[in-house]
Structure formats: structure tokens, C-alpha cells
């Protein structure tokens, strides 16, 4: 039994060395579950950062780490006896998904997902596969807050691949009774955030006195979601999400980039901001309606945007002091 008295689950986490995957892994281990983590250490950002992300989990006897690609591993063997599968692995990045690099997105976001789903069909032990989808599937949503029944219209190749993988999740649930649940994440932030993401870039530059690069006029807004709330949504979806379900996961903190920068200036000091044109594929606004997730799985975000930013500032300060 886990520390809380619940059944111990055998979990598989793909993308286990990433920002969300490593945070989720540590929560599962803390809850008393066993975890097999899988990651191929793509070079989208510094691999040593990812190795650092799994350092703490690797000390736990209930954790097994497998380095390899979902495109090449014997997934059927790795899924044997698994109860929960958290599919966090993906090629990230909206701006990099254009041009000749697109095949990397189709391979790692679509084909890898299809291989995982095919392998899962042979394992009756699996109670839920939770897929990390994205608000990028909506593009420039016509209505906000955006509900799950709005027709997705992604505005980037990245969003297209995330939506395709989400459709695969729904198809395997309906055609082969694979118990899937997809979570559409809205702009996740917090400790371990990828170095290419806005908050990480802004805070690091502010703490170092470097130039902050801002694309667009700064009036674009996002529904920012703290990573611990994302982790909680994953666990709730594993426990309670019906097969084939799709949920928005937002933080309820909708602010503009300019408002974030103003807050950082108050917290850290004067900022040196360099403004550039908007980048192709960037949605103007995002805002999640999370009523379905609240009503069906009990999701309720706990961490506000500014409390979360303070935590990320503290984390990055510690890293920069090393």
C-alpha cells in the first residue's frame, strides 16, 4: 500500500526527464507508487539539464530509468504489468516546428504515440493512459474561455501534431477499448521549466541583468498553469477520467506578457527588454474553460500566477548561484 493507504500502482512515464515528466515522477514516487521512466534525451535543449531533473528520482529504489526512443524500444515489454501510463514525451516548441525540422515532430509526437498505443493493446493491466496534449490544438480560439467542444484549429505544425496524437488516443479508446484520457495543457510554468520557455528566459535574463527578448507587443495573453497543478490533473485523470475523455487543464490565471514583465520588474529590478516582431504560429490569446475537468475528475488549480512565478524565481536563483 502507498503511504496514504491507496493501492500501489506500477506507472510508466514517457518523457520522464523533462520539465513535467520529472515533476510528475517525483510526485508518483512520493505517493508510494513504482515508476518506470523513459526518455531519449533529445538535444532540443541541454541534455545535462534533463539528467539533473531525474537525479533525485534515481535515488529511489522504486524508480527504474530507461534511456531510449519510443520509436525503437520494446514497448510491449516495458508496459508489462503497468497500471498507469503517463505519455509526456513529445518534441516541444511551436516556433521550431516549421520547415525541414517538421519530420522530428511527426516522428516523436505522432508515430511514437501510435507505437505506444499499439503496444498497450496487449496489456489488460493498463487502467489508464494519460496523454499530454496542448492548448496549441485550439490555435486562435474563436471563443474564450475555450471549451473542449470547440473545433480545434491549430496555427502551428506543432499544434497539428499534438492534435493528431490526441485523435489517436480517442480512436484507440473507441475502436480497441484502450483506456485513454487526454489533457490539453495551457502554458505550464514553474521550477524545471524548459530554458526556451518565456518565464524561464525572462527570469534568467532579469536575474543576470541580460537583455530580455520579447516577441510581439506583449499584449498577448495566456492561461498560465503551475506545474504542480498539471501533475495533480494527471493523477486525477488516471484515477477518474473515463476512457476517451479530453480535458482542458488551465490555471485560471490569465494575464498578458506585459503584466508578467511588470511583475518581474517589481520583484527583481529594472528590465532590459528588446522587442521583436511576432513569430509565426504564436496564438494571440488562450483561456481555458476547466468546468469539465472540475465536474468529472475534481480538478481545481491551487497555485496562482504570481505565487508560481515567485517559486520559479527562487528556483532559478538557486541554479544561477551554483
Q: What CATH number is attached to the domain comprising 154?
A: 3.40.50.720
| 110 occurs within a structural domain | yes
Rounded Cα distance between 238 and 241, Å, is: 6
| 95 occurs within a structural domain | yes
Given a cut of 80, is residue 2 above it in pLDDT? Answer: no
What was the pLDDT predicted at 3? 62
- Please state, for a pLDDT cut of 70, what percent of the chain lies above it: 98
What was the pLDDT predicted at 185? 98
What was the pLDDT predicted at 4? 59
pTM reported for the whole predicted model: 0.95
Which residues span the domain enclosing 162?
10-321
DSSP 3-state of 59: helix
Mean pLDDT confidence for 80-91: 97
Given a cut of 70, is residue 5 above it in pLDDT? Answer: no
Which one has a higher pLDDT value, 133 or 46?
A: 133
| 174 occurs within a structural domain | yes
Q: How many CB atoms lie within 10 A of CB 222?
A: 24
- Per residue in 223-255, pLDDT tens? 999 999 999 999 999 999 999 999 999 999 889
- Distances in whole angstroms, Cα of residue 136 to Cα of each of 59, 74, 159, 265: 35, 30, 5, 28
| 1 occurs within a structural domain | no
Given a cut of 80, is residue 195 above it in pLDDT? Answer: yes
What was the pLDDT predicted at 249? 98
| 301 occurs within a structural domain | yes
What was the pLDDT predicted at 277? 85
- For the chain, the average pLDDT equals 94
| 310 occurs within a structural domain | yes
- Distances in whole angstroms, Cα of residue 224 to Cα of each of 12, 35, 229: 27, 28, 11
What was the pLDDT predicted at 94? 82
Known active-site residue 158: yes
Which residues partner with 185 through β-bridges?
A: 134, 249
What's the DSSP call for residue 85?
A: E
What's the DSSP call for residue 7?
A: P
- Per residue in 115-171, pLDDT tens? 999 999 999 999 999 999 999 999 988 788 999 999 999 999 999 999 999 999 999
| 3 occurs within a structural domain | no
How many structural domains comprise the chain? 1
Given a cut of 80, is residue 76 above it in pLDDT? Answer: yes
| 52 occurs within a structural domain | yes
Annotated catalytic residue within 63, 131, 138, 158: 158
- Per residue in 196-214, pLDDT tens? 999 999 999 999 999 999 9
E-strand ranges in the chain read 10-14, 34-39, 63-67, 84-87, 128-134, 180-185, 188-189, 211-215, 221-226, 245-249, 253-256, 272-276
Amino acid at each position: 500500500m502507498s503511504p496514504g493507504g491507496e493501492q500501489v500502482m506500477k506507472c510508466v512515464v514517457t518523457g520522464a526527464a523533462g520539465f513535467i515528466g520529472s515533476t510528475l515522477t517525483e510526485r508518483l514516487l512520493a505517493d508510494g507508487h513504482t515508476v518506470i521512466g523513459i526518455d531519449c534525451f533529445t538535444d532540443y535543449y541541454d541534455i545535462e539539464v534533463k539528467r539533473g531533473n531525474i537525479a533525485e528520482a534515481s535515488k529511489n529504489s522504486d524508480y527504474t530509468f530507461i534511456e531510449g526512443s519510443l520509436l525503437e524500444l520494446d514497448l510491449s515489454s516495458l508496459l508489462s504489468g503497468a497500471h498507469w501510463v503517463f505519455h509526456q514525451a513529445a518534441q516541444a516548441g511551436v516556433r521550431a516546428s516549421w520547415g525541414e525540422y517538421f519530420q522530428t515532430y511527426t516522428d516523436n509526437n505522432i508515430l511514437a504515440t501510435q507505437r505506444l498505443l499499439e503496444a498497450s493493446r496487449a496489456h489488460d493491466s493498463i487502467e489508464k493512459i494519460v496523454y499530454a496534449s496542448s492548448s496549441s490544438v485550439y490555435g486562435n480560439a474563436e471563443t474564450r474561455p475555450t471549451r473542449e467542444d470547440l473545433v480545434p484549429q491549430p496555427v502551428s505544425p506543432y499544434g497539428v501534431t499534438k492534435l493528431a496524437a490526441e485523435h489517436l488516443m480517442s480512436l484507440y479508446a473507441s475502436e480497441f477499448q484502450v483506456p485513454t484520457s487526454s489533457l490539453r495543457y495551457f502554458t505550464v510554468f514553474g521550477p524545471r521549466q524548459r530554458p526556451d520557455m518565456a518565464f524561464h528566459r525572462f527570469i534568467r535574463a532579469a536575474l543576470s541583468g541580460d537583455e530580455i527578448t520579447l516577441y510581439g507587443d506583449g499584449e498577448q495573453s495566456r492561461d498560465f498553469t503551475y506545474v504542480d497543478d498539471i501533475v495533480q490533473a494527471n493523477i486525477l485523470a488516471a484515477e477518474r477520467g473515463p476512457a476517451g475523455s479530453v480535458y482542458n487543464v488551465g490555471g485560471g490565471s490569465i494575464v498578458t506578457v506585459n503584466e508578467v514583465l511588470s511583475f518581474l520588474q517589481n520583484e527583481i529590478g529594472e528590465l532590459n527588454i528588446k522587442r521583436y516582431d511576432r513569430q509565426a504560429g504564436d496564438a494571440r490569446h488562450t483561456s481555458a474553460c476547466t468546468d469539465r475537468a472540475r465536474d468529472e475528475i475534481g480538478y481545481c488549480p491551487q497555485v496562482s500566477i504570481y505565487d508560481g512565478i515567485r517559486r520559479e524565481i527562487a528556483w532559478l536563483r538557486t541554479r544561477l548561484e551554483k
